[in-house]
Structure 1
């Protein structure tokens, strides 16, 4: 049985965050997309860290995905995709560009797409 958290719990978790950009992002998303706000409000230990090789296996060509944590550089990316994530390592960003894919931070994507619609959520 999956446990869900309330908006009040999101508020409590936000108070523990030290990154002001992350806090502002969670506040904006809490109004438009509560599910993604909950993912970003998770404790650091529970955030997703995904390698490019795993991501390559999970997605289809031309797909747009949301990752609530960090994209790491292990493996290669062979598909042209759009990755919206909180962060990515420098090597991962280079490999994403080499694969002619696109990396966008969550804060940048909210400016264009406030509700983050059209993205497949991976963790």
Structure 2
């Protein structure tokens, strides 16, 4: 039985970058994100803004190893890193004085992975 590999070059590059950063900095958070992204894409997280609002506090950084959807209301200014965002999620995050970024940007900004919350 053949094991299917990722065919999207962005995902393969991101997974290898996460593993490399994890080894270089001893940060287990990037290893965990890489492990979740190696799973089949049907298992990727789809997180609504209502869940982010429930679990994240003002000024916190949240990683979603999948897609952020715009259902719900976001009241706190939260930095959110994800593989992708819906248009309504981007609008609501920006309206709440938050910040949307890719996981690649967050790894470059915070290679140690400190003070980051993973949501699934």
Fold similarity call, TM over 0.5:
yes
2:70 corresponds to: 73
Q: 1:119 to 1:50 in 2, by over 3 A?
A: same
Distance between the aligned counterparts of 1:115 and 1:86, measured in 2?
19
Alignment partner for residue 116 of structure 1, among 100, 113, 116?
Answer: 113
Instruction: Kindly tell me the number of residue pairs found equivalent between the two proteins.
Output: 111
Tell me the CA shift for residue 115 of structure 1: 4.1
Runs of 5+ consecutive residues of structure 2 not aligned to the other structure: 23-29
Give the 5 Å matches for 1:25-104: 25-31=14-20, 32=22, 33-104=30-101
Deviation at 1:121, TM superposition (A): 1.2
Q: TM-score, normalised by structure 1?
A: 0.81
Alpha-carbon deviation of 1:18?
A: 2.0
CA distance in 2, matches of 1:75, 1:116: 27
Aligned CA-pair RMSD: 1.8
Q: Which runs of 5+ in 1 are unaligned?
A: 1-11
Could you list the structure 1 runs, at least 4 aligned residues long, displaced by more than 4 angstroms after superposition. Answer: none
Q: Normalization by structure 2: what TM-score?
A: 0.83
SS for the counterpart of 1:45 is helix
